[in-house]
């Protein structure tokens, strides 16, 4: 074969290959679907509300009234929230900090929080006449109140978690004092609480569990593309990819640096920014961390329903808020009742949250829930090897999402061991309760 002929054939082949590659590029479709939204906005509203202040999310997990050897608490946990909100309108004087010298037996009322709080936050929660800023860096998870009959005043104590320091203040308004005296006398809205003192700390649980109901509600999904506009700096660079079958509600959005996964039938969002700047600033100030997390969620109107501060971890710069309903905390094994924000340097490092908002109740059903005495008996008889490890016991609503866009809230006893919540009576699970659920 002549050289010229060979060159001609090779040229034809190269031209053909070039045409094939060009055709392929013309017809190539990325695995991503480019978003239609061309806005370059980072704080677009997702349709919820703003929280605005620490006092709106810092609420007690329980308020216990000690009457001699008897312990009392509110039948309706919404009442204790109302009481705490009333206390935030009181005027507190003589605020001071010193070394601890208190005794819990000297106090009449005990207020507990789900996690330790920085003492600096008290000036955001309460109104003090002699200070608007606290210069200390320890934490508290209780508040104690003592009613002083001779002066009709209330002494308020904030003890440090490590037991070494304390802050005190006083309430001189006799109307506030009389409010508690009348409550102790009438015991209106109160019920007996039982003491379980075999765990890591004293735990008070309601003795009676009557009138609790299993509730069915409609839920609405928050469109995930709203969070694309809220969390990505330039939506024109964001693409979407489906994982597995279309229609099962699991996919993700990504640009060259950030990723936002949508999971569990479009019920949960997980945002991750691995390139978050680390400015070596170390741990955030705890109050600033709370404020920052509120501002982050406020920036896109991301509050739906009632959420309370649940976990504050300054070592990892992380804040978790838990949903509540009718005053009860809400639990879901997939995290559908939580909002978690974690920072690295100046950036959001992780942001995990539910994409569900509770709507109208459509059905309620009476349900038998073990009494407080039955709870203590069960722990003592069945959990003998774990009793001393229990950190807390609470009645919560177990959040069971159904694929027909409804949710079942089932009142269930939970215990906390090593920071993890577990159902206390797993054998009482209703077989049909998880049908169609996540």
Pairing of strands 328-331, 390-402: parallel
**DSSP secondary structure code for residue 284 in this structure:** P
% helix / strand / coil in the chain, to the nearest 5? 25, 40, 35
Cβ-based burial of 91 (10 A; exposed 0-12, middle 13-18, buried ≥19):
middle
Ordered DSSP codes for 346-404: TEEEEEEEE-EEEEEEEEEEE-----HHHHHHHHHHH-TTTGGGEEEEEEEEEEEEETT
Give the sign of the dihedral formed by CA 353, CA 31, CA 43, CA 123: positive
Residue 189 — left, alpha, or beta (φ > 0 → left; ψ -120 to 50 → alpha)? left
CA–CA distance, 212 with 398 (Å, rounded to integer)? 13
What's the confidence (pLDDT) of residue 35? 46
Strands of the sheet containing 203-206, edge to edge, are 127-128, 91-99, 165-171, 153-159, 139-148, 109-118, 62-67, 70-74, 190-196, 203-206
Q: Do residues 264 and 355 lie in contact, with contact meaning Cβ atoms separated by under 8 Å?
A: no
Question: With the C-alpha atoms ordered 157, 185, 76, 334, is the resulting torsion angle positive or negative?
Answer: positive
**pLDDT given for residue 42 in this prediction:** 41
Residue 124, phi then psi, degrees to nearest 5: -85, -20
Count Cα neighbours of 322 within 13 Å in the Cβ-side half-sphere: 26
Kindly report the pTM of this predicted structure: 0.87
Taking the chain (438 residues) in runs of 10, the rounded mean pLDDT of each run is 56 57 43 42 78 91 95 96 96 96 90 96 94 91 96 97 96 96 94 91 93 95 94 94 68 95 93 83 81 95 96 95 97 96 94 96 95 95 87 96 95 94 78 39
Query: Is the distance from CB of 358 to CB of 305 less than 8 angstroms?
Result: yes
Phi, psi (5° rounding) for residue 173? -75, 115
3-class secondary structure per residue, 316-359:
CCEEEEEEEECCEEEECCCCCCEEEEEEECCEEEEEEEECEEEE
């Amino acid at each position: 074969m002549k050289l010229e002929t060979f060159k001609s054939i090779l040229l034809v082949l190269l031209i053909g290959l070039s045409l094939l590659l060009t055709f392929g590029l013309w017809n190539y479709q990325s695995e991503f679907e480019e978003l239609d939204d061309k806005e370059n906005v980072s704080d677009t509203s997702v349709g919820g509300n703003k929280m605005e202040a620490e006092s709106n999310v810092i609420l007690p997990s329980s308020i216990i009234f000690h009457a001699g050897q008897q312990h009392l608490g509110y039948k309706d946990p919404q009442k204790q929230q109302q009481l705490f909100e009333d206390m935030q309108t009181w005027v507190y004087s003589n605020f001071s900090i010193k070394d601890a010298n208190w005794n819990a037996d000297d106090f009449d009322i005990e207020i507990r929080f789900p996690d330790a709080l920085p003492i600096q936050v008290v000036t955001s929660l309460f109104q003090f006449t002699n200070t608007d800023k606290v210069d200390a860096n320890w934490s508290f998870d209780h508040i104690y109140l003592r009613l002083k009959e001779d002066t009709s005043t209330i002494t308020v104590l904030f003890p440090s978690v490590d037991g070494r320091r304390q802050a005190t203040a006083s309430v001189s308004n006799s109307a506030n004092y009389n409010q508690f005296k009348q409550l102790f006398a009438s015991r209106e809205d109160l019920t007996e609480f039982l003491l379980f003192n075999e765990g890591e700390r004293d735990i008070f649980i309601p003795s009676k569990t009557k009138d609790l109901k299993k509730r069915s509600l409609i839920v609405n999904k928050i469109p995930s593309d709203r969070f694309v506009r809220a969390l990505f700096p330039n939506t024109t660079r964001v693409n979407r990819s489906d994982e597995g079958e279309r229609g099962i509600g699991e996919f993700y959005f990504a640009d060259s640096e950030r990723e936002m996964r949508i999971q569990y039938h479009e019920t949960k969002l997980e945002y991750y920014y691995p390139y978050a700047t680390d400015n070596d600033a170390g741990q955030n100030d705890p109050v600033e961390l709370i404020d920052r997390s509120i501002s982050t969620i406020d920036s896109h109107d991301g509050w739906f329903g009632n959420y309370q501060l649940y976990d504050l971890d300054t070592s990892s710069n992380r804040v978790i808020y838990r949903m509540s309903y009718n005053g009860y905390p809400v639990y879901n094994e997939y995290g559908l009742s939580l909002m978690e924000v974690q920072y690295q340097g100046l950036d959001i490092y992780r942001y995990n949250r539910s994409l569900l908002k509770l709507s109208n109740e459509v059905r309620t059903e009476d349900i038998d829930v073990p009494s407080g005495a039955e709870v203590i008996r069960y722990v003592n008889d069945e959990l003998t090897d774990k009793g001393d490890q229990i950190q807390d016991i609470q009645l919560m609503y177990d959040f069971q999402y159904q694929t027909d866009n409804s949710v079942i809230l089932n009142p269930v006893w939970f215990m906390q061991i090593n920071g993890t919540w577990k159902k206390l009576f797993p054998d009482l699970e209703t077989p049909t309760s998880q049908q169609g659920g996540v």
